[in-house]
Amino acid sequence: MIWSGDKMDFVASVVSGIATLTQTLEDGRTQMVGLLLPSDFVGRPGRDRAAYNITATTDILMCCFRRKPFEELMDRTPHIAQRLLQMTLDELDAAREWMLLLGRKTAREKIASLLSIVARRDASIRHRGNGNSLTFDLPLTREAMADYLGLTLETVSRQISALKRDGVIELTGKRHVIVPDMERLLMEAGDDSDGGLLT
Amino acid sequence: MIWSGDKMDFVASVVSGIATLTQTLEDGRTQMVGLLLPSDFVGRPGRDRAAYNITATTDILMCCFRRKPFEELMDRTPHIAQRLLQMTLDELDAAREWMLLLGRKTAREKIASLLSIVARRDASIRHRGNGNSLTFDLPLTREAMADYLGLTLETVSRQISALKRDGVIELTGKRHVIVPDMERLLMEAGDDSDGGLLT
DNA sequence: CGTGCGGTTGATGATCATCAATTTTGGTGG
DNA sequence: CCACCAAAATTGATGATCATCAACCGCACG
């Protein structure tokens, strides 16, 4: 949809569909730096060029505003800036969590973390909580996952196979995932917010 | 100074000195997620617990505001929210650049990138630009660098030695760095904004 | 029926982590 | 001022993890 450095005279909000933000090194190495889901905000007030590549991974519908009028609107209605600030702080937290993943987690933990996050996001919507089991579709190809996690697509494939072999997940088709025991998956992800028994 | 999860009823601005934001996995693996330099903002309006560990690496002086009054002030003076929004967006950009580094760069590129960034930051202050050569002090131990870069301290040490051996940098003492050719260092960092001859 | 894309799996190798030993440095107290 | 100590840093040997190169499968689609 958009290449880093392109002129971008609008800001937008995702209505439906999924897109990714990526950065690349000139030799082609690619890192995803953000995932755009419905309700996410795109673009930056006060900057007229895109800082990242934006790629649609599904059909996508966005609600666009030309940048100038939007900036003026922001000046007039203080609440918008405050709302944007909250959203941006949330994104910053997400980015920092991702830094921990990229810098310190093993390949297996990375995959488990990604699955946990996608599972959680879907869980809030269609919560098939019969027992502990959970079900969702992966919105990403293996390659996109690799770019998200800082791995190669081969490693992604292998680790998914390994998690399946170990019974942490089940697959029906390539994209449809069943998590029989969410606790187990969270353990595998490493960030074990549940080791703390007393909180 | 502060542990993740601590109650934090103030926000602050760094006046002088340096501190780090880190996240850890319960087995001790640590990832730095931000560096606090003078003028940086600490804390988050609308949240009463710290999300990260904050560690002073030097003596540090911060200007603190209790959170409640600050939030009220923010409601009354829209410009503050706008200013904070700009700063947060800048931090988000920095975090995303760091994601590219963590996910896709080699150890040598990581070190070169870190040196470039510190050099640039200092360059703006004390610009000894005789020729291309540049001089600065590393504000971090090898271990802190390792936590920043997602490496071990041994790898950091080895790569710094390698860059020295290859003439990319010179060292006097352990912390004082001389960069004879900044272009060269930027090449090593990989993000080669200068391969584009025509921009 | 071929073709391209996404995915899986295997063999091999490079990079970086780990474990361990030493050296250097900066600070402190005698 | 020097000796000594702890922390920081370097260097080496070895191994685990993940990347790379390559072959192959299944499926959708023209």
Question: Is residue A123 within 8 Å of A185, Cβ to Cβ?
Answer: no
Q: Which residues of chain A neighbour B30 with C-beta distances below 8 Å?
A: 104
Instruction: Read off the pLDDT of residues B74-101 as tens digits, 9 standing for 90 and up.
Output: 999 988 999 999 999 999 999 999 999 9
Distance CA(A72)–CA(A130), nearest Å, equals 49
pLDDT digits (tens, 9 = 90+) for A67-101: 999 999 999 998 899 999 999 999 999 999 999 99
Residue lying closest to nucleotide D10, CA to C1' = B157
CA separation for the pair A195, A184 (Å, rounded): 12
Kindly state the percentage of chain B with pLDDT values over 70. Answer: 91
| Nucleotide nearest B105, from its CA to each C1' | C15
Strands (E), B17-151: 19-24, 30-36, 41-42, 53-56, 61-66, 134-137
Residue B155: pLDDT over 90: yes
- Structure confidence by residue, pLDDT tens digits, A143-152: 999 999 999 9
Q: Quick one: tokens of A1? A: 């949809």
- Mean pLDDT for A154-182 is 94
User: Residue A198: what pLDDT?
Assistant: 41
**Are A96 and B52 inside 8 Å of each other by CB?**
yes
Pairing assessment for the beta strands A61-66 and A10-16 based on DSSP bridges:
antiparallel
Nearest to A92 by CA among A20, A5, A17, A34: A34
If you search the block for the tokens 């009823």, which residue do you land on? Answer: B9
Longest dimension (CA), chain B: 57
Q: For residue A197, is pLDDT > 50?
A: no
pLDDT digit string, tens, across residues B115-137: 999 988 876 555 555 556 788 88
Q: Distance, in angstroms, between A17 CA and closest chain B CA?
A: 22
- Chain C positions with any atom < 7 A from a protein CB: 6-11, 15-20, 25-26
pLDDT digit string (tens) for A43-60? 999 898 999 999 998 888
d(Cα A15, Cα B1) in Å, to the nearest integer?
A: 42
What structural domains and CATH numbers belong to chain B?
10-102 (2.60.120.10), 106-189 (1.10.10.10)
**How confident is the model over B15-62, as pLDDT tens digits?**
988 899 999 998 999 999 999 989 999 999 989 899 999 999 888 899
- Of B173 and A18, the structure prediction assigns the larger pLDDT to A18
Q: Assign B26 to helix, strand or coil.
A: coil
